Structure 1
């Protein structure tokens, strides 16, 4: 990991079922639609410090 890079690290999660994956993706989408001005971020997850957006994606880029 490059210590000079301010970009947060990616977290890869492998879920046991596709149903759980679909539930999480739907919940994130619903949260972001209901909170247009304050979408999912580190503060809404209870993390202190710098407030950063949280992105949830089903697909990984070739880099990841």
Structure 2
């Protein structure tokens, strides 16, 4: 069973997340030939102040 753990900045709407997981599930089923019920997706909302790239917090990036 494919399981995806996806971290993203907080702020997406429930509808955006719904569309996102539907698209990931569809692509997974098509490429791996699995049933939708076997695809698990965990979305982890992260505050920009808790994510850094290149030594800078994303909350400090304009």
**Structure 2-normalised TM-score?**
0.39
Larger helix percent: 2
Larger strand percent: 2
Q: Which has the larger radius of gyration?
A: 2
Larger relative contact order (C-alpha < 8 A, sep ≥ 6)? 2
**Structure 1-normalised TM-score?**
0.38
